[in-house]
């Protein structure tokens, strides 16, 4: 009985030994296989880092403002008798826009003119009488003062009558008028907007660190989504001598010729100021740079020898110092040398030493001045 139990225990031990040995050998073989396994190389795009000539530019967004623009109003109240302007038309300087009822004012002016003529007659008569000592000097002085007062009242009333005729203060384009004959208007009521459009201002702001790079006369290029693909060229005419303490920005005013009246007050424009001499920058597409909280990195492609002497490409991750951007491009100040091949897309699947295959059939854009394309 004991012998049979010993034989059974030995058999069970051999069985478990075989099972454990099998699993141990299988695990060892799997580890060996994984150690010898090489993942397939990742497909990336790449290009050489090369120097390019850059024109330093300052960019901002501005608002257009008419060189001369005003909402025409009335200084006096009155009833509109005639509207002589047409909405949207061009007006000349001094052109009559609206006429207010001035009948009573003109009648009062005639009355004052008659009083002034009488005062002048009295003064001339008394002056002759004073020469023969018929009246005193005080009487003649009183007559002279009365004449001046009457003439002043005539001038005041004539000015009031003139204000009943509302004229264009300068040449420009009229806006939409909602004033109609028979309407009563009060002082300050808007009649019509008038904008001089032959030249136009663009107001924009730049940070204080760029103040030394700005001067009057610098060229400014403006673009607007109203006219895609078209640029407008102007010059800086005024630089505000005060920096806004809330934003630390300063205001710049540029003037643009606008003979076709395409630019209108109130539009926004993107502006670029050519600031300083052209510079040479080592340039890459912005897609080549990975921006991280701990710094910017790129993958540099290196070649080596693989099995059987075949050439293989691997990548090396390196930190870089970036500079200004221009369109799709970014300047690399440190970390990459001229002529080095840098991965421009496909970095997410890479790490140091990863094998890569370069395929530039579809490469990221690398334009200095990209434009939208309809495809």
Q: What is the mean pLDDT of residues 344-351?
A: 88
Alpha carbon distance 231, 61 (integer Å):
14
pLDDT exceeds cutoff 90 at 27:
no
Lowest model confidence (mean pLDDT) among 232-246, 279-293, 351-365: 351-365
Q: What is the mean pLDDT of residues 200-207?
A: 95
**What is the per-residue pLDDT for 57?**
83
Using the structure block, give the residue that is written with the tokens 């008028």. 177
pLDDT digits (tens, 9 = 90+) for 140-175: 888 889 999 999 999 999 999 999 999 999 999 999
- What count of other Cβ atoms lies within 10 Å of the Cβ of residue 249? 17
pLDDT digits (tens, 9 = 90+) for 317-342: 999 999 888 888 999 999 999 999 99
**What is the per-residue pLDDT for 24?**
64
Q: What is the mean pLDDT of residues 351-361?
A: 87
The residues near 265 (Cβ < 8 Å, ≥ 6 apart) are 64, 65, 66, 69, 195, 200
Tokens of 188: 């300050």
**What is the per-residue pLDDT for 310?**
54
**What is the per-residue pLDDT for 54?**
84
Q: What is the mean pLDDT of residues 222-227?
A: 92
Answer for the pair 10, 2: CB distance below 8 angstroms, yes or no.
Answer: no
Lowest model confidence (mean pLDDT) among 125-129, 214-218, 310-314, 370-374: 370-374
Cα three-residue angle 9-15-20, rounded to 5 degrees? 125
pLDDT band at residue 305, thresholds of 50, 70 and 90? low
H or E stretch covering 257: strand 249-257
Answer for the pair 200, 66: CB distance below 8 angstroms, yes or no.
Answer: yes
Model pTM score:
0.64
**What is the per-residue pLDDT for 3?**
66
- Most confident range, picked from 127-136, 243-252, 278-287: 243-252
Lowest model confidence (mean pLDDT) among 136-145, 281-290, 306-315: 306-315
Answer for the pair 177, 228: CB distance below 8 angstroms, yes or no.
Answer: no
pLDDT band at residue 26, thresholds of 50, 70 and 90? low
pLDDT exceeds cutoff 70 at 6:
no
Q: 79 pairs with which residues across the strands?
A: 184
**What is the per-residue pLDDT for 365?**
84
Q: 209 pairs with which residues across the strands?
A: none
- Under DSSP, the state recorded for 307 is G
User: Which is it for strands 96-100 and 50-54: parallel, antiparallel or unpaired?
Assistant: unpaired
Q: What is the mean pLDDT of residues 359-371?
A: 81
CA-to-CA dists, residue 164 to 56, 114, 367, angstroms: 55, 22, 61
Alpha carbon distance 367, 363 (integer Å):
12
pLDDT exceeds cutoff 70 at 22:
no
pLDDT exceeds cutoff 60 at 375:
no
pLDDT exceeds cutoff 90 at 117:
yes
**What is the per-residue pLDDT for 1?**
62
pLDDT digits (tens, 9 = 90+) for 85-95: 899 899 999 99
Average pLDDT in the chain: 86
pLDDT band at residue 15, thresholds of 50, 70 and 90? low
- What count of other Cβ atoms lies within 10 Å of the Cβ of residue 188? 10
- Under DSSP, the state recorded for 41 is P
**What is the per-residue pLDDT for 25?**
65
**What is the per-residue pLDDT for 101?**
94
pLDDT exceeds cutoff 90 at 115:
yes
The residues near 13 (Cβ < 8 Å, ≥ 6 apart) are none
**What is the per-residue pLDDT for 28?**
66
């Amino acid at each position: 009985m004991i012998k049979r139990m010993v034989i059974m225990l030995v058999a069970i031990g051999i069985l478990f030994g075989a099972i454990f040995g099998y699993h141990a050998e299988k695990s060892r073989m799997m580890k060996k296989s994984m150690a010898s396994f090489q993942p397939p190389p990742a497909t990336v795009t790449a290009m050489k880092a090369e120097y390019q000539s850059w024109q330093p530019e300052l960019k901002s967004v501005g608002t257009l403002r008419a060189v001369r623009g005003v909402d025409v109003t009335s200084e006096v109240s009155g009833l509109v008798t005639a509207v002589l302007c047409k909405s949207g038309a061009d007006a000349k300087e001094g052109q009559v826009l609206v006429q207010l009822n001035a009948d009573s004012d003109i009648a009062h002016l005639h009355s004052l003119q008659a009083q002034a003529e009488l005062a002048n007659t009295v003064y001339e008569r008394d002056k002759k009488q004073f020469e023969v000592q018929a009246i005193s000097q005080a009487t003649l002085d009183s007559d002279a003062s009365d004449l001046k007062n009457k003439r002043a009242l005539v001038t005041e009333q004539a000015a009031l009558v003139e204000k009943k005729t509302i004229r264009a203060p300068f040449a420009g384009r009229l806006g939409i008028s909602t004033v109609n004959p028979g309407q009563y208007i009060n002082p300050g009521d808007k009649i019509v907007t008038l904008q001089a459009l032959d030249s136009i201002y663009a107001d924009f702001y730049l940070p204080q660190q760029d103040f030394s790079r700005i001067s009057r006369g610098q060229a400014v290029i403006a673009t607007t989504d109203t006219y895609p693909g078209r640029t407008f060229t102007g010059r800086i005419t005024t630089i505000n001598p005060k920096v806004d303490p809330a934003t630390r920005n300063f205001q710049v005013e540029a003037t643009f010729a606008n003979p076709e009246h395409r630019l209108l007050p109130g539009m926004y424009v993107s502006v670029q100021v050519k600031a300083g001499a052209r510079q040479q920058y080592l340039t890459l597409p912005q897609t080549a740079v990975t921006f991280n909280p701990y710094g910017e990195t790129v993958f540099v492609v290196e070649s080596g020898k693989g099995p059987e002497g075949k050439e293989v490409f691997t990548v090396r991750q390196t930190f870089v110092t970036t500079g200004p951007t221009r369109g799709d491009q970014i300047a690399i100040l440190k970390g990459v040398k001229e002529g080095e091949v840098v991965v421009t897309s496909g970095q997410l699947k890479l790490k140091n030493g990863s094998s890569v295959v370069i395929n530039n059939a579809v490469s990221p854009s690398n334009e200095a001045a990209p434009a939208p394309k309809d495809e």
